[in-house]
Amino acid sequence: MAVFEYRGIQIATGRAVKGYRDAENAKALRLALRREGVLLTAASEENEQKERAAQRNIDLLAFLRRPRTSDVAVMTRQLATLVRAGVPLVESIAALIDQVENEQLVRVLTTVRESLNEGTSFAKSLEQHPKVFPPLYVNMIAAGEASGTLEAVLERLADFMEGQARLRGKVASALAYPVLMAIVGTLLVSVLMIGVVPKVTSVFDNLGQTLPWYTRLLIFVSEFVGGYWWLIVGVIVGALLLFRRWRNTPDGRMRWDTFRLKMPIFGRLHLLVAVARFSRTLATLLASGVQLLAAMEIGRHVLENARLQAVVADAIGSIRGGESIAEPLKKSGAFPPMVTHMIAIGEKSGQLEQMLENVSRAYESDVETRVQTLTSLLEPMMIVLLGGVVGFIALAILMPLIQMNNLIE
């Protein structure tokens, strides 16, 4: 069965429509659309070979068009509203296809609708698109289908995805200004060292006097950067490539992620973000009816830290052996005591989901506070640092000129 991109006109309203549809051939597509009240005007086939070639040749434009978490969250919220209103699932998906703006998401939803029409479950249909719907999403949908609470699970999924996107957005927006200042400062100093300093310091060649040490240092750095900039760039790029290659090895990733947790200031922030995400994910999965071990396995992958993932993997093994969740996490020393303590209370009281929700809320709030404090300190520090570098350059240039002026007088 081929995939067609089609354009048509609704017979009843005269409104132009477009989308993707599976069909045996163009004639079958025309008949299927006609039954739905759509007059086909144009159709182009996209066979599987073209799809595989397109996937192999992913470019920047395709990456930018990939559905974002916020797009999927909005789609999930709309789907939850339709299902709760009593609209059948297939018709709800069809309604979303007309509303969603992202082309790739439209195509995915079209494939999901066709799969549902063939009798496949909703979770299995979503599982065919792991880049759009991660395991967490699929497992929660499967639990919702099995328990008959799909609309509640969809709303919980939308809340979860919106919360995660909001947390990442706060961290990214808070760090955007310091990163921009660092880039602009680096470019400014580079332009001064390569383009301005050599022209100004060239007048010192005929002075016939000993220059201050800081002026000689400035001239040396300027000549080195101007003459060997290609070597500096090559060393930096080579070091980054070697570091990336080392980090992709199992041992390298474990060592690097362990170091990230121990870094001053940023290590604690990284831990808080990871624990908040893990707690929120685990709470959402358990509340949706996903089994504990499956929820732990999914939560392990959202940590994005090899050290913490290893701790959770050990905890999964201990749980299979009959132990509690809190005990192996506590023994590892990687998770904060507050987390293990609240998990232990939740296990004993039978309110594990609620305790995990409390942990995630507390740590998300802590992350926001720490990021705001960090950025409020980084901004003046970077201004002082940049001002210090520019001041050093100005001092190294002006002092010999002042000395020369004193000699003339």
pLDDT value, residue 80: 87
Q: How far apart are CA 46 and CA 23, in angstroms?
A: 11
pLDDT value, residue 239: 94
pLDDT value, residue 255: 92
- Cβ of 308: how many Cβ atoms within 10 Å? 23
Per-residue pLDDT tens, the chain, 409 aa: give them.
566 777 787 777 767 777 777 777 777 777 887 787 877 777 776 554 444 444 444 444 444 467 787 888 888 888 888 888 888 888 888 888 888 888 888 888 888 888 888 888 888 888 888 888 888 788 888 888 877 778 888 888 888 888 777 777 777 777 777 778 888 888 888 888 887 778 777 777 666 667 788 888 888 888 888 788 889 889 999 999 999 999 989 899 999 989 988 888 788 888 888 888 888 888 888 887 888 888 888 888 778 788 888 888 888 888 888 888 888 888 878 888 888 888 888 888 888 888 888 888 888 888 888 887 877 787 788 888 888 888 888 888 888 777 766 655 5
pLDDT value, residue 275: 87
Q: How far apart are CA 169 and CA 369, in angstroms?
A: 14
Using alpha carbons only, how large is the chain's radius of gyration in Å?
Answer: 30
pLDDT value, residue 236: 92
Q: What is the largest CA-CA distance in the chain?
A: 99
* Sequence-separated (6 or more) residues with CB below 8 Å from residue 232: 225
Residue 297: both structure tokens together: 């396995």
End-to-end Cα, the chain, rounded Å: 93
The answer to whether 274 and 334 have CB atoms below 8 angstroms apart is no
What is the three-class DSSP state of 40?
A: strand
Angstrom distances, CA of residue 146 to CA of 17, 126, 289, 352, 408: 35, 15, 9, 22, 93
Q: How far apart are CA 128 and CA 148, in angstroms?
A: 22
Angle ∠(268,271,274) on CA atoms, nearest 5: 150
The answer to whether 366 and 270 have CB atoms below 8 angstroms apart is no
What is the three-class DSSP state of 38?
A: strand
pLDDT value, residue 16: 77
Q: How far apart are CA 124 and CA 75, in angstroms?
A: 18
Angle, helices 89-99 vs 69-84, to 10°: value is 140
Q: How far apart are CA 138 and CA 123, in angstroms?
A: 5
* Sequence-separated (6 or more) residues with CB below 8 Å from residue 388: none
Bridge partners of residue 218, in order along the sequence:
none
β-pairing, 16-23 vs 38-46, is unpaired
Bridge partners of residue 17, in order along the sequence:
8
Angle ∠(264,268,270) on CA atoms, nearest 5: 110
The answer to whether 2 and 23 have CB atoms below 8 angstroms apart is yes
Residue 389: enclosing H or E segment and its boundaries?
A: helix 352-408
The answer to whether 45 and 2 have CB atoms below 8 angstroms apart is yes
